[in-house]
Structure 1
Amino acid sequence: MKMRSAIIVGATGLVGSELLKLLCESDEYISITAITRRKLEYEHPKLTVKIRSFDELGEQDFDFAHELYCCLGTTMKKAGSRSEFEKVDFEYPLQIASLAKKRGIMHFIVISAMSANETSSVYYSRVKGKLEKELTALELPQLSIIRPSLLVGDRYEFRFGEKMGEYILKVVNPILIGPLKKFRSIEGKQVALAMKVIALHGKKTPVSIYESWELAKLEMPQPEQVVEEPISREQLFNWDKKIKEEPLPLDEEVVFNKSKFREIKEDND
């Protein structure tokens, strides 16, 4: 089995923290590096944490890795202004993707949004759509865009609006069927699992987009079990074949040499 290495940027968020634990406890990964702006509470022998200012990131901060998972994201309320929001949700991911390409990292996996559209009238969706367009223009070796719907799960910080939306969607989810199924909320743990599955078993096209309903279905494939056919009695006791087979020659070192034995005997006498 090929052992892999990964870099996670945004390991303190809902999906990033789940992904960090998942990869560290995975048999497929031998080394995980988290680039973060603050110290992590989680520790693991496979984990290396690099505390960095994202405004000062350079090539030297990125070692080789098979995948770089970008889980950065904020809210307008937390960012405080549009310029700060765009810095986290647009500028940093684009800068990190460019550095990853320079360092020879072959697969960039980024969290976007279900509503991403650069022509949207909604500011949040427009920023996410702009990010997807600019990342595609970078012509990365491989780009996987993750588009979850509303993320649910335990966050480090309380977000009232998202908690209200989470509660409402938990009630509404069962009746969202058919074309409306794509609006179902999705667990952060499931998105993290889906990102790992995409890294190991996903599409191999240069640019792939995964919608929320696809993410909800992804799971690690079960290892194939090799079933050995039982040996029949006829094969086990095929005496005719054994008789016809010529006996293998004995190693000359173990063949009894009478003349040599006689010489040794005479010398001893």
Structure 2
Amino acid sequence: MKTALITGSTGLIGSELVNLLLESNQYEKVIAFVKRDSGINNPKFVQHIINFDNPTTYQELVKGDDFFCTIGTTIKTAGSKEAFRKVDFEYPTQFAEMALKNKVKQFLIISSLGATESTGNFYLKTKAEVESFLKKMNFESISILRPSLLLGERKEFRLGEKIGGFFTKIFGFLFIGNLKKYKPIESKNVARALFEIAQKNTEGYTIYESDAIQEMVE
């Protein structure tokens, strides 16, 4: 039985993933790194309330088998590009460095559809820079998931996701062929794909586009 490590455990995908990990016989322990008490009461669940900006205080705690990085925000929520980059680039790369140093075998992370360093979109460029950073790291397995627009009940309101969900219900049949990967995807399906990929122990660096993620759980 394995030990799972997760950051972003209270988010849209992370919360779904934690439930899967706790219910699974594959994991004997689920360790979450959080800013505040998550309120989860389960004998398999261990949470470390940390100051993300002071990695020396928790780097020795990043020990296990599979690290799931589901942390993320938006520029609007973070308040600035600098604050956004701290959450979406600095924290994931910090955890990756600590995980590799502590001999964690797998690192799985949520990126975004359209991530590329050649874009002028700051959000997508940052996601691509994280991917490039991870590609240079010597984990046994690195899995990059690039979901399209996420559907699910967030604690925070995101107008774009609400609009996307509305139009998907009406025009979902249009997302076929080359457009299939742009179809909005349920957060619970992304969480399920993360879980399933971790059990495959695929060696090397693998990117999963949104349509592949959806097909994996159908």
Q: TM-score, normalised by structure 2?
A: 0.95
The equivalent position to 1:51 in structure 2, one of 31, 49, 52, is 49
Match of 1:163 in 2: 162
Find the residue that maps to 2:104 and give its secondary structure: coil
Say which structure, 1 or 2, has more relative contact order (CA 8 Å, 6+ apart): 2
Which has a greater percent of strand? Answer: 2
1:111 equivalenced with 2:89 (yes/no): no
Distance 1:19 1:127 in 2: 24
Give the CA deviation at 1:160: 2.1
Q: Equivalent residues in 2 for 1:134-145 (5 A)?
A: 134-145=133-144
Q: CA deviation at 1:61?
A: 2.5
Secondary structure at the counterpart of residue 157 of structure 1: coil
- Post-superposition CA distance 1:17-56 (Å, at most 9, x none): 0000110011111110011111113321110011111111
Within a 5 Å distance, the mapping from 1:32-111 to structure 2 comes to: 32-58=30-56, 59-63=59-63, 65-111=64-110
Q: List runs of 5+ in structure 1 lacking aligned partners.
A: 221-269
Matched, 1:22 2:20: yes
Cα offset for 1:172? 2.2
Instruction: Name the SS of the counterpart of 1:54 in structure 2.
Output: coil
In structure 2, what is the Cα distance between the partners aligned to 1:180 and 1:191?
18
**Residues 170, 185 of structure 1: 8 Å contact kept:** no
In structure 1, distance between residues paired with 2:149 and 2:66: 25
> Following the alignment from structure 2 to structure 1, what is the Cα–Cα distance between the partners of residues 97 and 217?
30
Query: Which AA in structure 1 matches 2:165?
Result: E
CA distances 1:75-105 after superposition (whole Å, capped 9, x unpaired): 1111000000000111110111000000000
Q: Structure 1-normalised TM-score? A: 0.77
In angstroms, what is the RMSD of aligned CA positions?
A: 1.4
User: Which runs of 5 or more residues in structure 2 are unaligned?
Assistant: none
- Aligned with 1:48: secondary structure? strand
Q: Which amino acid aligns with 1:187?
A: E
Structure 1 residue 57: deviation in Å?
A: 2.1
